[in-house]
Amino acid sequence: MSKEKISGNQVFWLISTMQIGMTILLTINPTIAIAKQDAWISILLSTLFSTGLAYVLTRISLMYPGESLITYAPKILGKILGHIVILLYVVYWIIVLAIILRQYGDFMIGTILQLTPVIVPIIGMLIIAAYVSFAGIEVLARCSEVLGPLILLGIMVPLLLNISQIQVNNLLPVLADNSLSVLVQGALPTASFLGDNILLMMVLPFLAHPRDGMKGAVIGSVVAGLFTMLSAMQCIAIFSHSTASRQSYPFLNLVRFVSFGFLQNLDAIVIAIWIMGIFIKISLYLFAASYGSAQWFGIKRWRIVIFIAAPIALVLSMLPRNFVDSSILFPKLVAVPFNLPVLFILLPLLLWIVGSIRNRKMKKKGRQQPKAS
């Protein structure tokens, strides 16, 4: 359906920039509320999970080079179960796209557009994302290459400027107040966001050199996780875990805390950089939902599906009543109990294990076939 190609370096920027913004924005608070001063350890566990998921997805891609979930799922699991798996992921892409749009809208009206109806920033972002998705994965990958360094810099600078404010005692004691089960529970909110690299199922088929994808995907996942961990550590070290756990956006308050000579009031700049990351994420989800649906239904002109998926996502984004529904209840009731164990763990492992067994049998069968005389 498409001859577009991207590089392993572009995969790195797509994954890191897609994950880092909203993960830092929305998961630090619930993780600190659960794991307290050990929240950084929980986020480290989430990073290990995300890195493992990236590895599994790239291994599946190497077994079926140039193919996406839509084509290899029926080959691995059979037609009936394969199409059920595809349906689950297509529904997931659409619903999560709508939730991300609503989280973005709630964030905007809660910070800089207080008197603006929530649908206004949502429509604006959706139009831009639809335009880039329509242009294709190559254009989206190039956007991530340009915006990615700015996004990482926008997060790194406040962390560096606040080093002098760190109170190490706020990070103590380490592993004294929490059991392993508490740390794992604290890792769940972040893992449900870092699990977004499940989109590699739809990105890796476009690699010009499939073996380059593993490095970009794994390192991108590690970078996103480590930046989130460092941000959480600094929020705890400066505000203490009890204060940070009561803040909706602890990192935004951390940015507002910066006072370094003439460098003050950096929150507007950081918000603009966050919007760039959210833009990459929304565009990638819209691309996956549109391209995947078109490939599933055999629609050759896949870009037409964007004009169906985008309005559906817009309508669904209006269903949550407020910030609590989109950013607290949805992760708690849907993302953590279903998306994480089923879509991010069970199904990828099932595809990898069954696919590996099938591949091994096919290779063995090929070696045993007698050569034609």
Residue among 279, 227, 258 nearest 97 (CA) = 279
Task: Please give the pLDDT value at position 370.
Answer: 57
The DSSP letter of residue 245 is T
- Which position has the token pair 């870009």? 303
Rg (CA), the chain: 21
Q: Are 312 and 94 in contact (CB under 8 A)?
A: yes
Neighbours of 149 (CB within 10 A): 12
Number of residues that make up the chain = 373
What are the structure tokens assigned to 4, written together?
A: 């577009």
What are the structure tokens assigned to 183, written together?
A: 């740390």
**Partners of residue 263 on adjacent β-strands:** 260
Report the relative pairing of strands 263-264 and 259-260 from DSSP bridges. Answer: antiparallel
The secondary structure of 86-135 as a DSSP string is HHHHHHHHHHHHHHHHHHHHHHHHHHT-TTS-THHHHHHHHHHHHHHHHH
Q: How many CA atoms lie within 13 A of 315 on its CB side?
A: 5
How far apart (Å, rounded) are the C-alpha atoms in residues 23 and 42? 13
What are the structure tokens assigned to 104, written together?
A: 């973005």
Q: Are 195 and 24 in contact (CB under 8 A)?
A: no
How far apart (Å, rounded) are the C-alpha atoms in residues 71 and 10? 23
How far apart (Å, rounded) are the C-alpha atoms in residues 200 and 32? 29
Q: To the nearest 10°, the Cα dihedral for 214, 220, 225, 227?
A: 150
DSSP 3-state of 207: strand
Longest dimension (CA), the chain: 83
Q: Is the dihedral of CA 76, 77, 83, 87 positive or negative?
A: negative
Give pLDDT tens digits along the chain (373 positions).
557 889 989 999 999 999 988 888 888 999 999 999 999 999 999 999 999 999 999 999 999 988 999 999 999 999 999 999 999 999 999 999 999 999 999 988 988 888 889 999 999 999 999 999 999 999 999 999 999 999 998 888 888 888 888 889 998 888 877 889 999 999 999 999 998 899 999 999 999 888 888 899 999 999 999 999 999 999 999 999 999 888 888 888 888 877 666 666 677 777 888 888 899 999 999 999 999 999 999 998 999 999 999 999 999 999 998 888 888 889 888 999 999 999 999 999 999 999 999 888 877 776 666 554 4
Neighbours of 250 (CB within 10 A): 26
